[in-house]
Amino acid sequence: MNKKQFLRLESINKRFGGVHALKDVSLTVEEGTVHALVGENGAGKSTLGKIIAGVYQPDSGKIYVDNCCVKYHSPREALADGIALISQEIALVPQLTVIENIFLGIENNHRGLIRNKEIRKRYYELIERTELSIPPDIPVYCLRIAEQKKVEILRAIARNARLIIMDEPTAILSADEAQKLFALIRKLKSSGTTFIYVSHFLEEILSLADNVTVMRDGQCVKTSPVEKESRETLIEAMLGRYVSLGFPEKIYPEPDAPVALSVEKLSREGIFYDISFQIRKGEILGLAGLVGSGRTEIARCIFGADPKTEGNIKVFNKIVNPTSPKEAINAGIALLPESRKLQGLILKLPVIYNISLPHLRKVASGPFIKLRDEHNRVKELLSTLNVKPLDPWIEARALSGGNQQKVLFAKWLFEKPKILIADEPTAGVDVGAKHAIYQLIHSLAREGIAILLISSDLEELIGLSHRIITINRGRITGEFSGSDLAEDKIMHAIFSTAS
Amino acid sequence: MEIAQRKKFDFTKLQVILRNYGIILAFSLLFLILAFSSPAFLTYRNLHNIIDQSAEVGIVACAMTLAIISGNFDLSVGAIFAFSGCIAAIIAAKGYVGFALLAGIVSGLILGIMNGLIITKFRANSFIVTLATGYIIRGLAMILTGGRLIIVNDPVFSILGQSSFLGIKIPIFILIIWISITWILLGRTTFGRAVYAIGGNPEAARLSGINVDRTKIIIFGINGISAALAGLITVSRISQGQADIGSLVDLQAISRVVIGGTSIAGGEGTIWRTVFGVLLMRLMTNGFNILNVSPFYQRVLGACKTMLP
């Protein structure tokens, strides 16, 4: 209560073209606390973070840091005051090593020469202080996304940041990595660092934050201590209405439904071994495991995107063993990849080009595309999936995360697949869209599509799947169904090694 | 407040329009300026000349548009231009004109496909590969001609570059046909979609079932054909084959594509942009000549235009 305020915003306004992104936003952040910002996509959370960090300049309003009115023209100026932004997208130089990235720009050079020894010493101090261990000399592009996030955090701490703004830090982390991150945040908080924490994950916020501000349509709806809030009250404030977060009721496939996908002793040397499972028509099989356990690689291998060393992949009892995504698509397999921006969508291209791409032949005679047929089919899909805006010609990058994900679904429903593999289908989408995606997966299974669902969100996986298999270090460690679908049991299997 | 908001909104809209259609605006402005400042400009003869002289670069630039949209460059088109021209000249000089034209085109196609194969099989950067193959191909053209001019006296051979039909030069017809072909390829076919897709995000394209390698090979094949076609026109115009012709064609084509507004980052662009880019540059040269600007200044100004967005 008598904590010193670190940051105060007074009626900040920001417009982008015709969009009023922030309306009269006022906010106070106390020193040494974790202040959470929640809201749907497009509510203005990220914009607010970027304004505090000097990436954008407000059109009007005042920012006070330590009770001094400041005006940042660039992130560099904000950084000089100890304000660092860790944004949603990774902002590292991929070719440079971990240590080079961390100290980039603050090498303390000696007459223009970098003193490697001294930097190495600082690096190990940093590692000791944060207990994050990352080998220093690997180029960043070799690391997994979760590890890259750690490098970004180390970079902010190396700059002695007093306020760290984190935009969706856990969206791409697995559960245990997220836990490590929280421990780190708590530790830094106790030594006086302040955090602004933007997230979709309400559980995270409820357990981690001290105060929470809910944003809706560019305005602050309410700010309160986190003890006074619950999941329900936050969602209600975010949406301005009550939404049930329940999962659709499971409808199990007939026990004698034909097996749609059968994977037999699938191995890829060094990545995963001896993977066997079957999915029946209309069944949702969950694949649980940590990031790096091999779950994504198994999915890519089934889809023909990565080679296999052994094993068979059968679709309705016919061996297909795809050697390219094209062959997999022809066999009726679809893959919603892990990263919608890097692997799923072609952001520069209009939505219509993205959606029709895998199945152009369906709307073409010979090499020529029947543009009207394509347009009608795409429009139909967009309206079925309730994509906003309903404009086939808008570029994919202009859509919000949730709508981009719906476009990806539309892409694979252009021609209905027999098997749909969805890798993290709700990563980085807001609550409303998440709910819509749950409903969609549920109804696709009811229509007879066999679904392989991969997710780091165990609650989601349990809520949707009929059956779950767990993977650790590339091997199956357990299979759960019925009453065994419980978080603790599955969690245990995720961490156990195969005998 | 309300009005201020409206105004601001319109302004951003204007910016978008300017960015998208600036090339048309620039072209129209220059056209009007020239039309008003010189009576020699707006004559059938002059306009006809402008288009006729644009044929070779125009043809190469249309195919280059495909390469650039797919995220690639083809720097060997100048050399293929010369090589195919020389092959055709050598065969035509022996009296087989029809076979000469066919051999010219096929040699361009083969060289283009070779480029594509090297780039895809070795996962190499197209800029470097075509820079190297460009030197090799031009070297081969030198060996082929022994560094001499190959004079073709056959009047049938010169039809391609010098004759007219209905008062319009044959190269103009070829240009228009080639523009149409590439336009349809890019805008209306499954192949065209693949070109955009692999330029926008090759991994996403592959995961959508696009055969990325095959698409690239076809793109370089088309660039080879276009270079050969343009080379044949030039050789037919001057009635002689020469190993050092067309040495600037590749860079000229790239600059025309870029001036039109096609992004060298890939995934974006259209053929009509390139057509305007070609015409705008030709109009500038023509205008400078009509207005008596020194050729030295012309070079500087022409280069400056390339840098404009």
The answer to whether B68 and B262 are in contact (CB under 8 A) is yes
pLDDT average, residue stretch A5-30:
83
Mutate to test the interface with B, among A355, A357, A378 (most CBs of B within 10 A): A357
Evaluated on CA atoms A375, A377, A379, A385, the torsion sign reads negative
Which pLDDT belongs to residue A401?
79
Which pLDDT belongs to residue B303?
65
- What does the block give as tokens for B215? 């698409």
Query: Do A17 and B8 count as a contact with CB atoms less than 8 A apart?
Result: yes
Query: Do A326 and B209 count as a contact with CB atoms less than 8 A apart?
Result: yes
Which pLDDT belongs to residue A15?
81
The answer to whether A355 and A395 are in contact (CB under 8 A) is no
Minimum mean pLDDT range among A16-30, A106-120, A159-173, B51-65:
A106-120
Q: How far is A374 from chain B (nearest CA, A)?
A: 11
Question: Rounded CA gap, A281 and A284, in Å?
Answer: 9
Fold equal for A5-239 and A259-495: yes
CATH of domain A259-495: 3.40.50.300
Q: How far is B279 from chain A (nearest CA, A)?
A: 27
The answer to whether A268 and A299 are in contact (CB under 8 A) is no
The rounded percent of chain A whose pLDDT value lies above 90 is 18
The tens digit of pLDDT for each residue in A436-494 reads 889 899 999 999 999 999 988 888 888 899 999 999 888 898 899 888 888 778 887 87
The answer to whether A458 and A295 are in contact (CB under 8 A) is no
Question: From the CB of residue B10, how many other CB atoms can be counted at a distance below 10 Å?
Answer: 11
Question: From the CB of residue A487, how many other CB atoms can be counted at a distance below 10 Å?
Answer: 11
Specify which residues A422 forms β-bridges with: A336, A453
First to last CA, chain B: 33
- How high does pLDDT run on average in chain A? 84
Which pLDDT belongs to residue A399?
81
* Cis peptide leading into residue B202 (ω within 30°): no
Query: Strands B150-151, B164-165: parallel, antiparallel or unpaired by DSSP?
Result: unpaired
The rounded percent of chain B whose pLDDT value lies above 70 is 90
Question: From the CB of residue B78, how many other CB atoms can be counted at a distance below 10 Å?
Answer: 27
Distances (CA, A) of A461 to A285, A287, B281: 9, 8, 59
Q: Is A398 on the interface with B (CB under 8 A)?
A: no
The tens digit of pLDDT for each residue in A103-160 reads 887 776 666 677 778 888 888 888 887 777 788 888 888 887 777 878 888 888 888 8
Q: Categorise residue A263: left if φ over 0, alpha if ψ from -120 to 50, beta otherwise.
A: beta
Question: Rounded CA gap, B77 and B89, in Å?
Answer: 18
Which pLDDT belongs to residue B6?
43
- What does the block give as tokens for A320? 């297909």
The tens digit of pLDDT for each residue in A410-442 reads 999 888 899 999 998 888 777 778 888 898 999
Question: Rounded CA gap, B194 and B199, in Å?
Answer: 8
The amino acid at residue A461 is L
Q: Give me the residue spans of the domains in chain A.
A: 5-239, 259-495
pTM for the complete prediction? 0.76
A190 pLDDT exceeds 80? yes
For chain B, list the domains and their CATH numbers. 45-307 (1.10.3470)
B193, B200, B206 member nearest A325 (Cβ)? B206
Query: Do B189 and A367 count as a contact with CB atoms less than 8 A apart?
Result: yes
B9, B193, B209 member nearest A325 (Cβ)? B209
Minimum mean pLDDT range among A121-135, A380-394, B206-220:
A121-135
Which pLDDT belongs to residue A428?
74
Mutate to test the interface with A, among B206, B207, B211, B268 (most CBs of A within 10 A): B207
Chain B nearest-CA residue for A343: B204
- What does the block give as tokens for B224? 């080879």
- Of B199 and A234, the one with more pLDDT: B199
B7 pLDDT exceeds 50? no
- Of B249 and A118, the one with more pLDDT: B249
A244 pLDDT exceeds 60? no
A301 pLDDT exceeds 60? yes
Query: Do A369 and B189 count as a contact with CB atoms less than 8 A apart?
Result: yes
| Residues of chain B found within 8 Å of residue A346, distances taken between Cβ atoms | 196-197, 200-201, 204-205, 267
- What does the block give as tokens for B133? 């193959």
Question: Rounded CA gap, B2 and A439, in Å?
Answer: 41
Query: Strands A272-280, A310-315: parallel, antiparallel or unpaired by DSSP?
Result: unpaired
Specify which residues A38 forms β-bridges with: A214
B5, B12, B210 member nearest A357 (Cβ)? B210
The tens digit of pLDDT for each residue in B156-210 reads 888 888 888 888 889 999 999 999 999 999 999 999 999 999 999 998 999 998 9
Pick the CATH number of A5-239 from 1.20.1370.20, 3.40.1360.10, 3.40.50.300, 3.40.50.150: 3.40.50.300
Enumerate residues 6+ apart whose C-beta is below 8 A from A270.
none
The answer to whether A470 and A460 are in contact (CB under 8 A) is no
The tens digit of pLDDT for each residue in B273-291 reads 999 999 988 888 887 777 7
Enumerate residues 6+ apart whose C-beta is below 8 A from A423.
A295, A296, A299, A335, A336, A337, A338, A454
| Residues of chain B found within 8 Å of residue A357, distances taken between Cβ atoms | 193, 197, 205, 208-210
The answer to whether A122 and A103 are in contact (CB under 8 A) is yes
pLDDT average, residue stretch B144-167:
84
Query: Strands A333-336, A419-423: parallel, antiparallel or unpaired by DSSP?
Result: parallel
What are the backbone angles phi and psi of residue A496, rounded to the nearest 5°?
-85, 155
Query: Do A357 and B9 count as a contact with CB atoms less than 8 A apart?
Result: no
Reported ipTM: the value is: 0.81
HSE on the CB side for A269, CA within 13 Å? 2
Which pLDDT belongs to residue B1?
34
Q: Categorise residue A482: left if φ over 0, alpha if ψ from -120 to 50, beta otherwise.
A: left
Report how far Cα A76 is from the mean position of its chain's Cα atoms. 27
- What does the block give as tokens for A166? 């984190």
A326, A344, A349 member nearest B267 (Cβ)? A349
Specify which residues A267 forms β-bridges with: A310
- How high does pLDDT run on average in chain B? 86
DSSP states of B48-86 as a string?
Answer: HHHHHHHHHHHHHHHHHHHHHHTT---TTHHHHHHHHHH
Question: Rounded CA gap, A464 and A439, in Å?
Answer: 9
3-state secondary structure labels for all residues of chain A: CCCCEEEEEEEEEEEECCEEEEEEEEEEEECCCEEEEECCCCCCHHHHHHHHCCCCCCCEEEEEECCEEECCCCHHHHHHCCEEEECCCCCCCCCCEHHHHHCCCCCCCECCECCHHHHHHHHHHHHHHHCCCCCCCCEHHHCCHHHHHHHHHHHHHHCCCCEEEEECCCCCCCHHHHHHHHHHHHHHHHCCCEEEEECCCHHHHHHHCCEEEEEECCEEEEEEEHHHCCHHHHHHHHHCCCCCCCCCCCCCCCCCCCEEEEEEEEEECCCEEEEEEEEECCCEEEEEECCCCCHHHHHHHHCCCCCCCEEEEEECCEECCCCCHHHHHHCCEEEECCCHHHHHCCCCCEHHHHHHHHHHHHHEECCEECHHHHHHHHHHHHHHCCCCCCCCCCEHHHCCHHHHHHHHHHHHHCCCCCEEEEECCCCCCCHHHHHHHHHHHHHHHHCCCEEEEECCCHHHHHHHCCEEEEEECCEEEEEEEHHHCCHHHHHHHHHCCCC
Most confident of A98-112, A301-315, B283-297: A301-315
User: Rounded to a whole number, what is the largest CA-CA distance in chain A?
Assistant: 76
The answer to whether B233 and B174 are in contact (CB under 8 A) is yes
Question: Rounded CA gap, A476 and A479, in Å?
Answer: 8
Q: Is B214 on the interface with A (CB under 8 A)?
A: no
Specify which residues A475 forms β-bridges with: A472
- What does the block give as tokens for A272? 């995963």
| Residues of chain B found within 8 Å of residue A329, distances taken between Cβ atoms | 208-209
Which pLDDT belongs to residue A55?
86
Strand (E) or helix (H) holding B118: helix B97-121
- Of A8 and B110, the one with more pLDDT: B110
B107 pLDDT exceeds 50? yes
Question: Rounded CA gap, B215 and B217, in Å?
Answer: 6
Query: Do A346 and B201 count as a contact with CB atoms less than 8 A apart?
Result: yes
Which pLDDT belongs to residue A451?
94
A299 pLDDT exceeds 90? yes
Confidence of residue B8 (pLDDT cuts 50, 70, 90): very low
Nearest to B108 by CA among B229, B197, B191: B229
